[in-house]
Amino acid sequence: MSYKKQQGSALVMSLVVITVMAVFAAALVKLDWSNQEMTSREVFATQAWFAAHSANEYALTQLFPLGSKQSNPKACLSNYPISADKFACSSVSASCTATTITENGKTINRYQLEATATCGTGKYAVTRIQETWAKDLSENK
Residue type (1 letter), 6: Q
For residue 5, pLDDT over 70 is answered with no
The residue extents of the domains of the chain are 3-135
* pTM attached to this predicted model: 0.71
122 vs 41: CA distance, rounded Å: 11
Residue 7: the pLDDT is 65
pLDDT value at 32 more than 70: no
More confident position, 34 or 40: 40
Contact predicate 114/95, CB 8 Å: yes
Q: Are 40 and 121 in contact (CB under 8 A)?
A: no
Considering only residues 124 and 114, tell me which one the structure prediction assigns the higher pLDDT. 114
3-state DSSP: the chain helix, strand, coil percent, rounded to 5?
50, 25, 25
